[in-house]
Amino acid sequence: MDFRQEFIAFALEQDVLRFGKFKTKAGRLSPYFFNAGLFNDGASLDRLSQFYAKAILASGLAVNTLFGPAYKGIPLVAASALALARAGRNLPFAFNRKEIKDHGEGGGIIGAPLTGRVLIVDDVISAGTSVRESVELIRAAGATPCGVVIALDRMERGNGDTSAVQEVEQEYAIPVVAVATLDDLMTYLRERPEFKEHQSAVAVYRQEYGVEYAH
């Protein structure tokens, strides 16, 4: 089983990925729900970070620094840096404060200086606001945003005909690397008869709201 399929199995096991009827922010009724905030203990964060490390290494992206946008990106970037170091790739990391501090070490960035090619580490991309703020911070520091890594790409249309991930890729000319995508979830469900009912529901939803990616 490749790491993407392993990740889907892990998300289901942790109840981070659930099936049922869930209303999305866009007001759509989705047959599945993914909440990365539920990777909320030491063991699950450790395992999650290993998947992030695998996705980053598999992407082949040239990266000098990792950046985690506050708040969700903070534990993710720290844990991913640890997992990458264990895999033999030691990278500096940083994250931002929501409020600029004017005493002590001051400033809005904590950790390593933002230099070279900076990879943004986040949970998901919905409206792309977090990415926009991160790109601005990285550029303001004189560094270059080189990509975004997220846990799951729902591969569904935003306001137009493109997905939130495609919008980010087009607007900033940077790749988005997902540990797993909706296509990976579909593959996982297709291969398991016990998920037949959910596979049908997800397929119908994909047909209605999904976006095809060029390979």
pLDDT per residue rounded down to tens, the chain (215 residues): 799 999 999 999 999 999 999 998 888 999 999 999 999 999 999 999 999 999 999 999 999 999 999 999 999 999 999 999 999 999 999 999 877 655 444 468 999 999 999 999 999 987 778 899 999 999 999 999 999 999 999 999 987 889 999 999 999 999 999 999 999 999 999 999 999 999 999 999 999 999 988 76
Give the ranges where 36-160 is alpha helix by DSSP (H).
42-59, 73-86, 129-140
The catalytic residue positions are: 101, 103
Helix 42-59 and helix 73-86: axis angle, to 10°? 70
Work out the widest C-alpha separation in the chain, in whole angstroms: 59
Place of tokens 């490749």: 2
Contacts of residues 129-133 at CB distance under 8 Å and 24 or more positions apart, as own/partner, are 130/69, 130/72, 130/73, 131/69, 131/168, 131/172, 133/69, 133/96
Residues 6 or more apart in contact with residue 155 via CB below 8 angstroms:
163, 165, 181, 182, 183, 206, 210, 211, 213
Domain 3-209 class? alpha beta
Q: Which two tokens stand for residue 106?
A: 């001051």
